[in-house]
Amino acid sequence: MRLVLSAGEASGDQIAADLARALAEQQPDLEMAGLAGPRMQAAGVTPWYGLDALNVMGLTEVIGHLPRLIKLRREYRQRILDWQPDAFISIDAPDFNLGLAGQLRARGLTTIHYVSPSVWAWRAHRIKKIARSLDLLLTLFPFEPELYQPHGLDARFVGHHLADELKQQPERKALRDRLGVADDQAMIVLLPGSRGGEIQRHVNLLAETAARLRARYPSALLVMLLANRDHKAQALALAGSSLAGSQVTLVAGETRLGLTAADLAVAASGTVTLESFLVGCPQVVYYRLPAATYWLARLLRLVRTRHVSLPNILTAQELVPERLQSAATAEQLCRDAVAWLEQPDRVRAYRQSASEWRQRLGQDAGDRAASAILEKLGHG
């Protein structure tokens, strides 16, 4: 059996690597190749292209790289057809992968996509086109398959890799002891986002919030969690003196450990809000879009969901406060933080809900996805 696996960014590389390992275990006589990051390669996927082939973010960057990306997809499509695989399996990166899947399906190839685009949140009109492009869709959340079923697409919930990974997480108190955080010391983590533009828009807001929190909780441990050293350098360049004045410690590459140990997160909306929820860390969610982007999204009615953070979307309630655009002020974020820290019953209820969702989403997603794929291909 031959399978093409196609990721496009680091998060997809991890999901695809878990899938590749499970496929190899369930189907030993298997060849895998495609657009693969380092984790996929370690799991046995031959890299025709690396992740850097697609590593562009933002509208202006994409436009500048468009001729190269079109050429890449054309070459990639031909290489896939020449190799004659049993299926094309794309993982996340929907803007690149789903268009390619549609072209390949039109040529008679079985197409499978893992990780539904957020059609429940915005650009719902994509559902019909996605259904036409695929033979099978594997979803991370249990509410997603029903969105596609009216359009005839075989869509199956397999679970979320984050919940699977958290089965191996250290216990919160043991971790705090290891980090030297006292039982009665509040630990508050500040997360500006995982992209350069988010840090640019958010770090000064968090610096102002930290100043207010420091005034309210003089002995608190304030930590800014950043994805990597480049982001740490960017945050220091933008707000280093303000952060130092509020005694904020900057830490790169330890987001999950920080969330697990913390009493509270002030987090930019994104996947990290799910991570914070699943480790049981209460949170205040905020986000600031560029003004023009926010105006255009409202004008075109691209956003359809009442909530933006995954904890609220999953539970269908306002479990965590959401502060967007002009509502995201240092005064408001501090007020929301204080409300969490001074309501222990609310924190207990939140952690109980987190525990239930961790179990519901922790389904050994890689194994379930591999089984669904092999069943679809007649090898189940």
| Three-class HEC string of 286-335 | EECCCHHHHHHHHHCCCECCCCCCHHHHHHCCCCCCEEEHHHCCHHHHHH
How far apart are alpha carbons 243 and 223 in whole angstroms?
Answer: 10
Q: CA quadruple 148, 149, 151, 155: dihedral positive or negative?
A: positive
pLDDT digits (tens, 9 = 90+) for 63-103: 666 777 788 889 999 999 999 999 999 998 888 899 999 99
- Mean pLDDT of all residues in 35-62: 78
Structure-model confidence comparison of residues 266 and 297, the more confident one? 266
How far apart are alpha carbons 371 and 363 in whole angstroms?
Answer: 13
pLDDT at residue 169 tops 80:
no
User: Of 45-59, 268-282, 340-354, which gets the smallest average pLDDT?
Assistant: 45-59
Q: ∠ at Cα 93 (91, 94), nearest 5°?
A: 95
One-letter amino acid for residue 365 of the chain:
A
Quick one: pLDDT band at residue 372, thresholds 50, 70, 90? very high
Quick one: pLDDT band at residue 11, thresholds 50, 70, 90? confident
Closest CA to 93 of 49, 135, 60: 49
CB 141 within 8 A of CB 156: no
- Mean pLDDT of all residues in 152-156: 96
Task: Give the per-residue pLDDT at 60.
Answer: 42
Quick one: pLDDT band at residue 56, thresholds 50, 70, 90? very low
pLDDT at residue 182 tops 80:
yes
Share of the chain above pLDDT 90, in %: 75
pLDDT at residue 331 tops 50:
yes
pLDDT digits (tens, 9 = 90+) for 234-281: 999 999 999 999 999 999 999 999 999 999 999 999 889 999 999 999
- Mean pLDDT of all residues in 166-172: 83
Share of the chain above pLDDT 70, in %: 91
Closest CA to 277 of 243, 325, 249, 317: 317
pLDDT at residue 377 tops 50:
yes
Torsions phi, psi for 338 (to 5 deg): -60, -40
Pairing of strands 2-6, 283-287: unpaired
Domains of the chain: 2-159+363-376 (3.40.50.2000), 169-361 (3.40.50.2000)
According to DSSP, residue 170 is labeled: P
- Mean pLDDT of all residues in 151-169: 93
- Mean pLDDT of all residues in 333-347: 98
Task: Give the per-residue pLDDT at 10.
Answer: 79
Structure tokens at 122: 């915005």
pLDDT at residue 125 tops 90:
no
Task: Give the per-residue pLDDT at 293.
Answer: 62
pLDDT at residue 196 tops 90:
no
Task: Give the per-residue pLDDT at 8.
Answer: 81
CB 43 within 8 A of CB 20: yes
How far apart are alpha carbons 237 and 323 in whole angstroms?
Answer: 25
Residue 203 CA to its chain's centroid (Å): 20
Torsions phi, psi for 170 (to 5 deg): -65, 155
For residue 376, give Cα distances in angstroms to 74, 207, 372, 373. 27, 51, 6, 5
Quick one: pLDDT band at residue 297, thresholds 50, 70, 90? low
pLDDT at residue 27 tops 90:
yes
Mean pLDDT of the chain: 91
For residue 19, give Cα distances in angstroms to 81, 85, 159, 378. 22, 17, 12, 18
pLDDT digits (tens, 9 = 90+) for 312-321: 999 999 999 9
